[in-house]
Amino acid sequence: MTIIIFLIITILASIILGTYCAEKRQSELSDLFSFSFLALSATLLISLVLLPIKQSSIRSEIAEFLATKNSVESARLDKNLAYESIMITKEIIEANKWLAKRQYWNETLFDIWIPDKVMELKPIK
């Protein structure tokens, strides 16, 4: 969210400064602010388009994590062979690594990209 607010403020500043420079007949600065306005607007547009795509991707990964957790719990109820136990441990490690990464990035500037539901998930034990 912070990144989008920063982009909006920067776009507004470039519009104001570009208009001021155009009124003062400073074409070099006016061109610079026009270019920065276009570049920042394109960046904002791209990030707003990618936001729902990334969030839906994370939601599907959350569903995969929950499915893995359920599979591990049901497999533990069965008395597994040694090989199956190793494979289950490997799946647990992979799922917990994924969860740790998403929970870390959810607490940074990229919070808007990751749904808060990821913070409700607990590692598989």
Q: What is the pLDDT of residues 24-62, one digit of tens each?
A: 666 666 666 677 777 777 777 787 788 888 888 888 899
Region 84-103 average pLDDT? 87
Residue given tokens 């599979």 in the structure block? 71
Query: Which residues does 37 contact at the CB level (< 8 Å), separation at least 6?
Result: 11, 14, 15, 18
Reported pTM? 0.61
pLDDT above 70 (res 13): yes
Nearest to 59 by CA among 3, 119, 115: 115
Under a CB-based contact definition with an 8 Å cutoff, are residues 39 and 95 in contact?
no
40, two tokens: 């920042």
